[in-house]
Structure 1
């Protein structure tokens, strides 16, 4: 029997989770379609994923901070403050991310080589990356605007918008990669152009919704000390956490890329499939963040506690389902991406690791979402730094170069990292839980 807390959590969490999955599908659509062009083409598209994520780390950190600020105002019924937060944040995004994207455009070849790109697919990676960079910037701005919707609990609208954007992307991919009908066969370039088209459509739909709500009629674009102080206090911890994660992933990916084109292609396939549930969990984490933000005030302590346990329960339910499906169908899943039978034994083994990682992955992301909205962004950043940036690269190096475990060692390292973060999040959330309960008890007295 679903309680009212379950229904409200799933009302926000499921659309947010599915929205994350659809965004990953955008990337996987490129991989699956480009996969027919060969292993080199897969590697060319995949090697750009880390530079793209480095840029999106800033955008998603900004969006997460805006989601928390909007959620807090929603809980306090300050509905006329949404536009002011959005406008001021847009100014920051255009200045900081605009300069960052220009830098990446100029030095993309050096960045890809540093990431471990091999010469046999570097030219294709450059074509894909240079054409995809504008789409990354547009996505960054769109993600910021959609943060207002998330903060209000309107995750279904975000899902609807991004479904349409993904449909446009997939259609353009098919037309331009394979040259269907009157369209030219552009291969890797077609994948990039399809991404741009889908992104532009999502941006248009997002703007239309916000204008209909009157968001742009509120507030102004002038940055103030009060805004900067509030925004940076939230953004700093979130950006540090995601920045540490991205640094660790960059180092990790470079080590894996040095194993060679074929192992890296298998890794890219597994990582892209893993990202499906990672993004699903991220959506559940967003729901936990929004609901914890709505109920952050002390007089809503009971609601905060109820949504905490609701998130924990659903993370376990979804993880069990995903584990069983992924483990039992691991060979079939890998075969969707690669038709080379020689890759199947190692590929199916790595997909089994993906299945096992689902449990700590979901748990730590739901916990982290609650912690961020409860004012613990710095603490989440601290354990993320230790686990992702320090321990994972060290453990990966030991497994790859000292123990000669190959690609399996890289995924064992990833599983250990997720488990460490889950333990740290559980300990910190337990402390917050008891602090809030003791404070609430004192207030009642």
Structure 2
């Protein structure tokens, strides 16, 4: 494929494609759990899936830290200041470890109440707790790895990060197979076995990330305490991205609660379709990371031509990959759904929702790369603003209207997703069309 395009396309794909594939394999970690526990019934699927929202609430903090660190590291790398990026990472890791420890302890103590608030009912709360109590530790490992990987991403080492996450996911899948179904002297643990597999995979990912980060030789324990310059540089970027991520989580929590009220079967169908939708969402997020890295390098080097080229290539490849995703998902929508569940009652509605999933690929990819360029260009507050309006405000209102007023059920819930993604894609396009280089580098 590389020979069919120019050198600039190759450069973009060298950065963005591994990052996008990294997103695919992170989604595969979640999908592996759902696919394998799917043979245990719809209650098991719901029990594992309901943990997704508490997990994403914690990762909202983690990803905000990591995204801010990637932006700063990419800019420092573009300016030739690797040591400064390493110092920023060391200080961020120290603060983040303390903060994330407190958050995870709080979630563990209140886990059942959180799961019930998310919509879990008595038919599967026991299964949800059986999985979630151990899987929460896996979220902690993932969080630490993601923050360290932000430095590697900022340096453009997306292929290394992809390799690390690929290995972790392979171990997770093997662990799932062994501990869910049993193997030799190891008994079948069911949904608890899926949590064991998650722990093994995330622990391996963290260890490899630590090893790779140390090889960069820019992390120094002497610089562990943040100084005034750290807070002045890092906190404004983090604050804007955290606001954006927080608004998205608020909207998704409200959205998921409304869908969960449709019943176990409907929620299981929704969970399957959302899990598959997350594959391309994560892929597009990886493209967005690539766009952030390339645009960040250009901003750090004060290279307007490279910045404009990053914009052009980002949107071009987002459209190409979105088209591929749409075609494959639409044509094989029934076969894809049957990988998760062969329940004939679920298949009919699942195939309809999968068609919507296919269509959503276009605004999804477009808005991800647009947001990535905006963040690297210093417009994190703008992204946070339109994310709040669309995800936290409009999506829950539209979902409630379609579900409660029009009675459209799952179709209405997914129509709300399509509208939300389209609004964000339009907002990113409009902001970028008004952005001038002089405002980026001032």
Aligned length: 439
Is 1:101 the counterpart of 2:71 in the alignment? no
Tell me the equivalent position of 1:371.
Answer: 374
Is 1:140 the counterpart of 2:143 in the alignment? yes
Alpha-carbon separation, structure 2, partners of 1:298 and 1:74 = 9
RMSD after superposition: 1.4
1:117 to 120, 124, 127: 120
Q: How much has 1:186 moved relative to structure 2?
A: 0.2
- Alignment CA distance shift 1:154-1:297 (3 Å): closer
Which stretch of structure 1 is more off in the superposition, 150-159 or 336-345? 336-345
3-state secondary structure, aligned to 1:141:
helix
Tell me the equivalent position of 1:52.
Answer: 55
Contact 1:361-1:418 within 8 A present in 2 as well? yes
Alpha-carbon separation, structure 1, partners of 2:221 and 2:15 = 25
Tell me the equivalent position of 2:236.
Answer: 233
Is 1:336 the counterpart of 2:328 in the alignment? no
| Post-superposition CA distance 1:23-57 (Å, at most 9, x none) | 10000000000000000000000000000000001
| Post-superposition CA distance 1:298-336 (Å, at most 9, x none) | 840011001110010000000111100000111111111
2:323 to 304, 320, 325: 320
Q: How much has 1:344 moved relative to structure 2?
A: 1.1
Superposition map of 1:292-303 within 5 A: 292-297=295-300, 299-303=302-306
Contact 1:5-1:307 within 8 A present in 2 as well? no
Is 1:307 the counterpart of 2:310 in the alignment? yes
Superposition map of 1:241-320 within 5 A: 241-297=244-300, 299-320=302-323
Tell me the equivalent position of 2:357.
Answer: 354
Tell me the equivalent position of 2:402.
Answer: 399
Q: How much has 1:368 moved relative to structure 2?
A: 0.1
Alpha-carbon separation, structure 1, partners of 2:399 and 2:379 = 29
Tell me the equivalent position of 2:224.
Answer: 221
Tell me the equivalent position of 1:169.
Answer: 172
Superposition map of 1:180-195 within 5 A: 180-195=183-198
Contact 1:240-1:381 within 8 A present in 2 as well? yes
- Structure 2: where are the runs of 5+ without partners? none
- Alignment CA distance shift 1:269-1:76 (3 Å): same
Contact 2:91-2:226 within 8 A present in 1 as well? yes
TM-score of the superposed pair, with normalisation by structure 1? 0.97
Q: How much has 1:263 moved relative to structure 2?
A: 0.2
Alpha-carbon separation, structure 2, partners of 1:246 and 1:381 = 12
Q: How much has 1:127 moved relative to structure 2?
A: 1.2
Tell me the equivalent position of 1:152.
Answer: 155
- Alignment CA distance shift 1:77-1:246 (3 Å): same
Contact 1:16-1:283 within 8 A present in 2 as well? yes
Alpha-carbon separation, structure 1, partners of 2:172 and 2:413 = 32
3-state secondary structure, aligned to 2:303:
helix
Alpha-carbon separation, structure 1, partners of 2:318 and 2:430 = 17
- Structure 1: where are the runs of 5+ without partners? none
Q: How much has 1:95 moved relative to structure 2?
A: 2.0
Alpha-carbon separation, structure 1, partners of 2:340 and 2:42 = 10
Contact 1:81-1:218 within 8 A present in 2 as well? no
Q: How much has 1:439 moved relative to structure 2?
A: 8.9
3-state secondary structure, aligned to 1:45:
helix
- Alignment CA distance shift 1:218-1:11 (3 Å): farther
Structure 1 runs (4+) deviating above 2 angstroms are 215-219, 437-440
Tell me the equivalent position of 2:437.
Answer: 436
Contact 2:378-2:440 within 8 A present in 1 as well? no
3-state secondary structure, aligned to 1:97:
helix
TM-score of the superposed pair, with normalisation by structure 2? 0.97
Q: How much has 1:183 moved relative to structure 2?
A: 1.1
Q: How much has 1:437 moved relative to structure 2?
A: 6.8
Is 1:25 the counterpart of 2:28 in the alignment? yes
Superposition map of 1:383-422 within 5 A: 383-422=386-425
